[in-house]
Chain A
Amino acid sequence: MTAVAVPLGLLALWEVLARLAVLSPRYFPPPSRVGAVLVESFAEGDLGGETLVTLTRLALAFALATVPAVPLGLLMGMARPVRAAMEPYIAVLFPVPKIALLPFLLILLGVGEPAFVLTGAISAFFQIIISTLAGVQTMDPRLLDVGRNYGAHGVRLFRTVILPAALPAIFTGLRLGLGLALVTIVAVEFIAAKSGLGHLVYRHWQTLSTPQMYGAFALVGALGLLLTRGLRAVQARTLVWQEDPGRL
């Protein structure tokens, strides 16, 4: 109950202050107005379409990141030469703000979906590969011994021992990666795209159409919340043996 009480309370406070013009209604329109505009934009405008655009980019970016990242991460964890070869590049590129890559991708791929999606994918890629690697590296080595003792080798060892042991970390990596991809894509939309929720926030900001701006803003927040909480629930359910998937 308290979980919703505080946010609702804050919203109520905002509503009152805006209506009383203590808060400038132009810069801080009352939440009721924002809500009304939001509903209207969905029903008559194409807010739904824009949301879909962002979601599509996110899905593509996530898929693009996950498909190479998980196998590569596993490979890095299991084969030392692979790790040795890739580690320097990952170490160097991981702390780089991926948004800084955007202009280069714009040159390479032109201003369009591929550049936007790829930037998001690269963000997620590094997170997923690092988490996957950690999953393999931090697994209890005794599990390996036990597995081998029971005659599992090669693929079988991988499938029955290594993969399940690394799965919690991989899942966490996917969850964090998805969050990162969303953040990056919305940022890219804000800066360079002509569609999508991030762009809507930007455009409405520039034209000071504040109710629309807050609406898009709230939508992004809702999206982020849904995705992170949703994935966390999935993780808790499917990986029942893991104690705490982590609150982030």
Chain B
Amino acid sequence: MRSSRALWVVSLVLVAVVAAGGAAAQAPTVKIGYIPSDSFAALYIMADRYLTPAGITVQMVRLPGGAEITSQVATGQLQVGGSGMGAAGFNAVAAKLPIEFIAPLHFGFLEDYFTVRKAAWGTEIKRVGDLKGRPVGLNTRGAAVEWMLDQVLRRDGLTIKDVQVKIMPFPDMVPALESGAIDAGIITEPFPTLAEDKGVGVRPLTKPAGAKAIPITAAFWNAEWAKGNADLAHKVMVAYLRAVRDLAADGGRGWTEDRNVELMTKYAVTKRELVKKARPHVADPNLELDASTLDSMQKLNAELGYLKYTEFLTADRLFTFTYRDRAVKELGRR
């Protein structure tokens, strides 16, 4: 019967496409998804300095945002990824997708991210509250940056719903500040430094003494891949730990060390001097994080209607720390 045959062909094609997606995951390469920014430095160092020389083939895949990286790791198109902690990740874990958060990636201070248009600061905008109704740049929705903006706004009585959010990639925020397309943004290094250099942006908030850095991004991988390649996964974890320690070395001076800056320049595609001038991020040499931020993030995400579950995930539920623990044990605590 011709009609059913035509249908079978169509169905087979569909299955083949899906299978091809799955088959790609079985290849021996470790594909790592990243967003081009300094925050992902640990991934760059892990790949170039510790995995490749050990004979592990690595493919760095540049993607625009956390949702893309999260979904591609969940489907197995990528093995490892990093992203700001946000709804996509939370929902993926809640939906029991094969994605495991394994460790924090970087920490930072809101004050280092919050950048205001220089031309407007001191005139139209004298305080955070003056941003009401104005355009503010974020690189994506439902991710850590949205929470960070909300946190900054709350300090002066506003919430994220009070501003006009404009989504654009980090590099684009610098010319956007210049032209006035946005009045402020949550921008990751080295771009705020670039904005300051060019005289188009200013970071008006100062860190209170003794402030603790907040976990912003996290690293994750495909759980099925990790289970099926336990040895390889462990090697990746150890390499990751080493990379993070390279950055956290010397009280955080690793962030401006030449050999690390080299790699940041390579992947984040920015100038070396800029990276060295940039305010350093923070990394934890034992890959530990304070869980209270996670609650706050989930709360905002729930308020904005991004979460598909109601009971918040605890750190233990969200992260799978067994690999980290094993790696820390092997290399010893710092």
Q: What is the interface of chain A, defined by CB distance below 8 A to chain B?
A: 26, 72, 75, 79, 81-82, 84-86, 106-111, 194, 203, 206-209
Asked if A82 and B175 sit within 8 Å, CB to CB, the answer is no
B133 is an interface residue with CB less than 8 A from chain A: no
B7 is an interface residue with CB less than 8 A from chain A: yes
Closest 8 CB pairs of A and B: A85-B3, A208-B179, A207-B175, A81-B3, A111-B68, A206-B168, A110-B77, A81-B2
Chain A residues near B175: list those with CB within 8 A: 207-209
Chain A residues near B3: list those with CB within 8 A: 81-82, 84-86
11 A-B pairs whose Cβ atoms sit less than 8 Å apart in the complex:
A26-B179, A79-B2, A82-B3, A82-B6, A84-B3, A85-B4, A108-B17, A111-B63, A207-B179, A208-B181, A209-B175
Chain A residues near B71: list those with CB within 8 A: 106-107, 110
Chain A residues near B179: list those with CB within 8 A: 26, 207-209
CB distance from B198 to the nearest CB of A (A): 13
Chain B residues near A82: list those with CB within 8 A: 2-3, 6
Asked if B176 and A206 sit within 8 Å, CB to CB, the answer is yes
B27 is an interface residue with CB less than 8 A from chain A: no
Query: Contact check: which of A75, A110, A111, A208 meets B176 at CB < 8 Å?
Result: A208
CB distance from B5 to the nearest CB of A (A): 9
B258 is an interface residue with CB less than 8 A from chain A: no
Chain A residues near B168: list those with CB within 8 A: 206-207
CB distance from A144 to the nearest CB of B (A): 20
Asked if A203 and B172 sit within 8 Å, CB to CB, the answer is yes
Asked if B72 and A111 sit within 8 Å, CB to CB, the answer is yes
Asked if A86 and B75 sit within 8 Å, CB to CB, the answer is no
Determine the residue in chain B with the shortest Cβ distance to A207: B175
Chain B residues near A108: list those with CB within 8 A: 17-18, 21, 75
B204 is an interface residue with CB less than 8 A from chain A: no
* A-B contacts, CB under 8 A, total: 58
Query: Contact check: which of B77, B78, B172, B180 meets A206 at CB < 8 Å?
Result: B172
Add 11 more A-B contacts to A86-B6, A111-B72, A207-B175 (CB < 8 A): A75-B6, A79-B2, A81-B2, A85-B2, A85-B4, A85-B7, A106-B68, A107-B75, A108-B75, A110-B75, A206-B172
Interface of chain B: mostly helix, strand, loop or mixed: helix
In the bound complex, what is the Cα–Cα distance between A107 and B4 (angstroms)?
Answer: 28
In the bound complex, what is the Cα–Cα distance between A84 and B71 (angstroms)?
Answer: 37
Interface of chain A: mostly helix, strand, loop or mixed: helix
Asked if A109 and B172 sit within 8 Å, CB to CB, the answer is no
Determine the residue in chain B with the shortest Cβ distance to A114: B17
In the bound complex, what is the Cα–Cα distance between A82 and B5 (angstroms)?
Answer: 9
Query: Contact check: which of A72, A81, A209 meets B1 at CB < 8 Å?
Result: A81
In the bound complex, what is the Cα–Cα distance between A90 and B71 (angstroms)?
Answer: 29
Determine the residue in chain A with the shortest Cβ distance to B168: A206
Chain A residues near B77: list those with CB within 8 A: 110
Chain B residues near A109: list those with CB within 8 A: 17, 21
Asked if B75 and A206 sit within 8 Å, CB to CB, the answer is no
CB distance from B225 to the nearest CB of A (A): 15
Chain A residues near B72: list those with CB within 8 A: 110-111
Most central of A26, A194, A206, A209 by chain B CB within 10 Å? A206
Determine the residue in chain A with the shortest Cβ distance to B17: A108
CB distance from B16 to the nearest CB of A (A): 12
Determine the residue in chain A with the shortest Cβ distance to B71: A107
Asked if A194 and B64 sit within 8 Å, CB to CB, the answer is yes
B166 is an interface residue with CB less than 8 A from chain A: yes
Query: Contact check: which of B4, B6, B64, B181 meets A111 at CB < 8 Å?
Result: B64
CB distance from A132 to the nearest CB of B (A): 15
In the bound complex, what is the Cα–Cα distance between A208 and B175 (angstroms)?
Answer: 8
CB distance from A189 to the nearest CB of B (A): 13
Determine the residue in chain A with the shortest Cβ distance to B64: A194
In the bound complex, what is the Cα–Cα distance between A80 and B75 (angstroms)?
Answer: 39
CB distance from B82 to the nearest CB of A (A): 15
Chain B residues near A72: list those with CB within 8 A: 6
Asked if B64 and A207 sit within 8 Å, CB to CB, the answer is no
In the bound complex, what is the Cα–Cα distance between A108 and B78 (angstroms)?
Answer: 12
Determine the residue in chain B with the shortest Cβ distance to A84: B3
CB distance from B221 to the nearest CB of A (A): 16
Determine the residue in chain B with the shortest Cβ distance to A209: B175
In the bound complex, what is the Cα–Cα distance between A81 and B1 (angstroms)?
Answer: 8
Q: A111-B63, A111-B72, A203-B172 are contacts. A208–B21 as well, Cβ < 8 Å?
A: no
